[in-house]
Amino acid sequence: MKKFIISLLLLYAVAMPAKAVEITAPAAPEEAQDLMPVEQSSFGEDLWYVVKSAVQRLQPELVAGCGVCLAVTASVLLTSMLGSFPGSSKSTTELVGCVAIACLVLGTTNSLIGSAADTVRQLSDYGKLLLPVMTTATAAQGAVTTSTAIYVGTALFDALLGSLIASVLTPLIYMFIALSIAKSALNEPLLKKLQSLVKWVTTWSLKIILYIFTGYITITGVVSGTADQSALKATKLTISGMVPVVGGILSDASEAILVGASAVKNTIGVYGLVAVLAIAIGPFLKIGLQYLLLKLIGAVCGIFGGKQTTGLIDDMAAAMGLLLAMTGAVCLLLLISIVCFMKGVS
Reply yes or no on whether the pLDDT at 337 is more than 90. no
Assess if residue 29 is contained within a domain.
no
Residue 38 counted as domain residue: no
Residue 225 covered by a domain: yes
Range of the domain at 220: 58-345
pTM of the model: 0.78
Out of 5-19, 24-38, 59-73, least confident range: 5-19
183, part of any domain: yes
The answer to the question of residue 49 being in a domain is no
Q: What total of structural domains would you count in the chain?
A: 1
Residue 190, in any domain of the structure:
yes
Q: Is residue 40 included in any domain, yes or no?
A: no
Condensed to tens digits (0 to 9), the pLDDT of residues 210-234 reads: 777 777 766 665 544 444 454 445 4
pLDDT (0 to 100) of residue 107: 86
- Does 69 reside within a domain? yes
* 260, 249 contact by CB (below 8 A): no
Q: What is the pLDDT of residue 315?
A: 92
